Amino acid sequence: MIDLHLHTTASDGRSTPEELVREAALAGLTTIAVTDHDTTASIAEVTGAAEASGMTCVPGIEITAVHNGQDVHMLGYFLDADNGELAEFLAGQREDRRRRLFEMADELDRLGMPIDRGRLQAAERDSKRALGRPMLADALVRAGYVATISEAFERFLGTDKPAFISRRGASPAEVVELITRAGGLSSLAHPGKSNLDAIIPELVAGGLGAIEVYHPDHDERQTTHYRELARRHGVLVTGGSDYHGAGSGRTSGFGRVTLPVDDYERLVGRAGWTA
């Protein structure tokens, strides 16, 4: 079983690299990709632990691009995690995550819901770690303003909700080019969540390598739609569980959404990758 969309504690996942690999092995996965938000910090550890348990690990990333103030998640696979331009870009992304999070915390102050910033401040000391809105959601739950992480997003933190502040940064097309220059293959993450089919032709013309077809937030109709769109544009297909670990407020566990072997082999062939 193949799962090419997994998060660790380097971003907003709840599992450390070792825990992630142990959980993946228990679920019967044979090939995984670690795709943390805007950081490559876990790739070496996940790869080492995966190899020790007889699994293959594809180096990956999930970069947040911005289109008209809206976040657009772009996956990158098989890239050189030590690429200098990529590293510099990602450091800037993490800095913008920090800015946004503290600005959103200020918004929560204004809304009369001050949160404990202790964990944010502790986390920001690790410059390789990508901060994210789930930390604010957690703080809102701990303070008792909301009952669940989902409620925090639905009422306050989601796009255009009262405490929402936009990210700043590169366009999806620029991120495609960056991933290509870092030796990687790009994939438009969970397009069914973002309503941006209109920009797909431009991204394909700019070198987009794949579309994420298999994702827990895609229903059958969307899965079929994006599979067909990928075929029509002559790009490949990726997929995975978008696992964030126990307690993340996301319900998708391992093994429910996987990538067919044929699709995986096409990716490896296109990237010319050897584990």
Q: Which residues bind ligand AMP (CB under 6 A)?
A: 12, 37, 71, 132-134, 149-150, 153, 244, 249-250
C-alpha 5/C-alpha 24 separation (Å) is: 12
| Residues within the interface to Fe ion (CB under 5 A) | 62, 73, 189, 242
C-alpha 162/C-alpha 148 separation (Å) is: 17
Give the H or E element holding residue 105: helix 84-110
Query: What count of Cα atoms within 13 Å lies in the side-chain half-sphere of residue 267?
Result: 31
Residue whose CB is nearest to Zn ion in the complex, by number: 12
By beta-carbon proximity to ligand AMP, the closer residue of 55 and 189 is 189
Beta strands in 190-243 (DSSP E): 210-214, 236-239
Residue 121: what are its φ and ψ, rounded to 5°?
-65, -35
Q: Residue count at the site for Zn ion (CB under 5 A)?
A: 1
Beta-carbon contacts of 49 under 8 Å, excluding residues fewer than 6 positions away, are: 17, 18, 20, 21, 22
By beta-carbon proximity to ligand AMP, the closer residue of 80 and 151 is 151
Q: How far is the CB of 134 from Zn ion (least distance, A)?
A: 7
The only residue of 3, 12, 38, 45 in contact with Zn ion, by rule CB under 5 A:
12
By beta-carbon proximity to ligand AMP, the closer residue of 127 and 224 is 127
By beta-carbon proximity to ligand AMP, the closer residue of 193 and 266 is 193
In the list Zn ion, Fe ion, ligand AMP, none, the entry touching 253 (Cβ below 5 to 8 angstroms by class) is none
